[in-house]
Amino acid sequence: MNLKKLGTMAAAVAALSLVAGGFTATAANAASAPQFYLLDGGDGHLIADDTVLEWDSQVLASPGTQVADLDTPFVGTADATGAAYFLAKPGTESQLNTWTASSDGALTPGTTNILSPNLTLSGFLFGQWAAVKANGGDYSLGFAWTKNNGLNIADAGVKFVSIHVNPGGTWTFDDQAPAQTTAVKITTASLPAATVGTTYSQQLAADGDATIAWSVDAGTLPAGLTLSGTGLLSGTPTAAASSTFTVKADNGKTSDTKQYTVVASSTAPTKPGASTPNKVDIADPAKGATTVTVPAGAAHANQTLQAWAWSDPTNLGLATADANGNVTVDISSLTAGEHTIALVAPGDAAFTVLAWDTITKVSAAGDTATDTVDLTAAVTASDLWSLNAESSKVDFGSVARDKSVTKPLGKVTVVDDRSVLKGWDLKAAWSSFKTTAGDEIPDTALAVAPKFYAGYTPVTGVALGMGSQLGTSSAVSTLSTGALFDADLTFTAPKDAKTGDYTSTLTVTLTSK
């Protein structure tokens, strides 16, 4: 059976009846979903690829080989309550509300025939079929399983072929196999937790036809993460938080959404600041001291706590408080300077600060010593700004009518080494070509194709233009050697030009931005 040409749709196991607003299906076997077959031609014949049909034709002009067996059903699903046939712009077959034209599928309950759309296109009851007939164009012709009284497409999808309509009404089948839409379904069940400061990358997945585009539909992603259009959730989390958000997967025909929660945890507490509670008074260590005492308080007496220090988070290890809650912390690994010391409970994922203060460690013998030396340098520029076109004349020689001759413009040097760089534009303009007798050829006879001069390697920021725009530059120096441009000049003699010697003037202009 050739499924590349859509013709009659014959029902098996079900009959359809028209109701207000859509269709209903009455199944002969309630346990079975309704089924339909696609035949080529209203009389069960194949249609040749080059068959030309009239808009309102009822009989095929030259039917092909007869189809003997109907053995390829298009099976509906339990949510399918009806069917419809349609004309649609390619790519919108599954978007019921955008169909160009549509009509009721079943005309006579209890029969096996649905009105064949390839034979009676004027039978469309709704839409712009008259405009299609008048203007022509490429369309998809098919039928769809419907549900909810025809208000949307059932999961069983659509079947269609491509047709080309000529202005006035004749039309042919295009050689395209029928397609069925598979609804988009997000398959990624959940997302793993993230860690602040650690790279995170998770690819979301979904089933469905065609390319799927992903986006954030609601909520906010964890700070530092982004979702690409291909469904990659990636980045580096910057804050500890629990973020709930909804993503959407869309293939242009159907879509699906799913909510996720990603918990981003820290590997170290956040450096305490002015608003952080539990600030205590830690005495600055004496010169050469390797420990400080943190008065955590009686509430933490005899507890083992985790000590941290900043500027960068530094794990100072575990320390046990005495009976009064005083904790001796080893600071020998810290360099001289200011440090914030904090205590947290071991294993506390929230890193709740129990006691903290900022100290200054004095440099001791053997500590790393530093000193500074100021460095200065004066940058100068030649302050040059110039333009030089090396050639003073370009001769195209003898050019036959309706023929072209191409010559190089020659080297054009731009020097911009000004003290204040602003960038520039290099443009060419030319007049019409004239003879001394007053004959004239318009300036459009000359075409300009910019290029860099042979052997010149442009610096970053200097670029070629197009046509009369020979080149351009951002705020960069060409140095004193300059930027070197050239162009291919092509003169085309009009087919009706008078003979004679024609001249024109080309002017190259350098303009600062």
> Structure tokens of 214?
């992903």
Q: Residue 94 has what pLDDT?
A: 78
57 and 137 share one domain:
yes
> Structure tokens of 353?
């600060």
H or E element in which residue 11 lies = strand 9-12
Q: What does the pLDDT look like over 194-212, one tens digit per residue?
A: 887 788 999 999 988 778 9
Which amino acid appears at position 489 of this protein? L
Domain membership flag for residue 292: yes
337 and 415 share one domain:
no
Q: Are 319 and 300 in contact (CB under 8 A)?
A: no
Q: Residue 161 has what pLDDT?
A: 66
Name the 3-class secondary structure at 142: strand
Local structure of residue 187 (DSSP, 8 states): -
Q: Residue 152 has what pLDDT?
A: 75
Domain membership flag for residue 380: no
Q: Residue 7 has what pLDDT?
A: 31
Q: Residue 4 has what pLDDT?
A: 26
21 and 144 share one domain:
yes
Among 235, 209, 204, residue whose Cα is nearest residue 221:
235
49 and 156 share one domain:
yes
Domain that holds residue 328: 271-371
Name the 3-class secondary structure at 300: helix
Domain-ending residue, one of 325, 345, 371: 371
Read off the pTM: 0.35
326: CATH: 2.60.40
The string of DSSP codes covering 163-183 is EEEPTTS-EEE-S-----PPP
Handedness of CA 151, 156, 161, 162 (dihedral sign): positive
Cα angle, residue 382 at apex, residues 377 and 388 outer, rounded to 5°: 155
Q: How many independent structural domains does the chain possess?
A: 4
Domain membership flag for residue 507: yes
For 213, phi and psi rounded to 5 degrees?
Answer: -100, 135
Domain-ending residue, one of 173, 200, 234: 173
> Structure tokens of 366?
């053997």
Q: Residue 47 has what pLDDT?
A: 43
The string of DSSP codes covering 83-139 is EEEEEE-TT-TT-GGG-SEEEESBSSTT-SEE--TTT-GGG--EESHHHHHHH-EEE
405 and 506 share one domain:
yes
156 and 23 share one domain:
yes
What gap in Å lies between CA 172 and CA 29, rounded to an integer? 38
What gap in Å lies between CA 431 and CA 1, rounded to an integer? 69
Domain membership flag for residue 480: yes
Flag residues of the chain having pLDDT under 70.
Answer: 1-82, 103-126, 149-150, 154-157, 160-161, 172-182, 364-368
Q: Are 8 and 116 in contact (CB under 8 A)?
A: yes
Q: Residue 245 has what pLDDT?
A: 96
CA distance to 12, 163, 212, 227, 467, per residue, from 187 (Å): 34, 35, 13, 16, 52
Q: Are 428 and 449 in contact (CB under 8 A)?
A: no
Q: What is the largest CA-CA distance in the chain?
A: 115
Name the 3-class secondary structure at 58: coil
Q: Are 288 and 364 in contact (CB under 8 A)?
A: yes
147 and 282 share one domain:
no
Among 201, 202, 203, 205, residue whose Cα is nearest residue 186:
205
Which residues make Cβ contacts (< 8 Å) with residue 144, sequence separation at least 6? 83, 84, 85, 86, 93, 94, 96, 153, 154, 157, 158, 159
Q: Are 485 and 453 in contact (CB under 8 A)?
A: yes
What gap in Å lies between CA 217 and CA 247, rounded to an integer? 5
What gap in Å lies between CA 24 and CA 81, rounded to an integer? 5
Distance from first CA to last CA of the chain, Å, rounded? 69
CA neighbours closer than 13 Å in the CB half-sphere of residue 280:
21
The bridge status of strand 194-195 relative to strand 255-265 is: parallel
433 and 503 share one domain:
yes
Q: Are 167 and 130 in contact (CB under 8 A)?
A: no
Domain-ending residue, one of 329, 345, 371: 371
Q: Residue 216 has what pLDDT?
A: 96
Q: Residue 28 has what pLDDT?
A: 27
What gap in Å lies between CA 25 and CA 82, rounded to an integer? 5
394 and 501 share one domain:
yes
Domain membership flag for residue 206: yes
Q: Residue 75 has what pLDDT?
A: 54
What gap in Å lies between CA 113 and CA 10, rounded to an integer? 5
- E strands, 381-456, are 385-389, 404-408, 412-416, 424-430, 433-434, 440-441, 446-452
Q: Residue 443 has what pLDDT?
A: 95
> Structure tokens of 41?
């031609």
Q: Residue 48 has what pLDDT?
A: 44
Domain membership flag for residue 35: yes
Domain membership flag for residue 178: no
214: CATH: 2.60.40.10
